[in-house]
Structure 1
Amino acid sequence: MAILVINRGAEWTQELYQTVFDRTLPDPAKPPAGLIAHFAAPGEAGGWQVIDVWESEDALRRFMEETVLPAAQEFGAPPFDSKVVEVYNSLIP
């Protein structure tokens, strides 16, 4: 079952997001295994938010533990909150 992941970082900025993104996905034409879609934008109350759709929670967990969290720690990034829910329906025209 596909999952929707909402990451919000109140202290994250576009610049910090881009730095971590560039480190974790040096070639966006070669996304990590299991990633279906990725979106990033400013948060409504400030900060930064990232919304992903993944094929499974295992694929997400593997990418986060092996790639994202080490890169975020390397750059001294503040923590972010994550919410994971199962996708009920999707439409990708």
Structure 2
Amino acid sequence: MAVLVHSQGAAWNQELYQTIFDRVIPDRANPPAGLIIHTGMPGDGGGWEVVDVWESQAAFQRFTEDVIMPAAQELGAPPFDTRVVEIYNLLVT
């Protein structure tokens, strides 16, 4: 089942986000398995937010554990909060 993943990092900014993004998805034509939609934006109260749609929570967790977390730890990135919600209806045009 598809999931929406909302991540928020109060201490993140556009530069840090872009550095991590470029490292974990270096080829935009070859996105990670299971990723349907990815968005990144400034947070309303500061920081940075990422909202993704993944084919499954397992695909998201695999990419996070195998790719995102090692890159974030290597760069000393601050922590972020993540919420995962199952999607009832998804229309991509």
TM above 0.5 = yes
> Normalising to structure 2: TM-score of the pair?
0.98
Q: Which stretches in structure 1 are left out of the alignment for 5+ residues?
A: none
Distance 2:84 2:71 in 1: 21
Show structure 1 runs of 4+ deviating over 2 A: none
The 5 A counterparts of 1:75-86 are 75-86=75-86
CA displacement 1:52-83 (0-9 Å, x = unmatched): 00001110000000000000011110000000
In structure 1, the residue matched to 2:64 is 64
**CA root-mean-square deviation:** 0.5
Q: Which stretches in structure 2 are left out of the alignment for 5+ residues?
A: none
In structure 2, the residue matched to 1:73 is 73
> Normalising to structure 1: TM-score of the pair?
0.98
In structure 2, the residue matched to 1:42 is 42
**Identical pairs, percent:** 62
Distance 2:52 2:20 in 1: 15
How many residues get paired? 93
The 5 A counterparts of 1:2-41 are 2-41=2-41
Q: What letter corresponds to residue 56 of structure 1 in structure 2?
A: S
The Cα shift of 1:91 comes to 1.9
The Cα shift of 1:88 comes to 1.3
Distance 2:42 2:53 in 1: 18
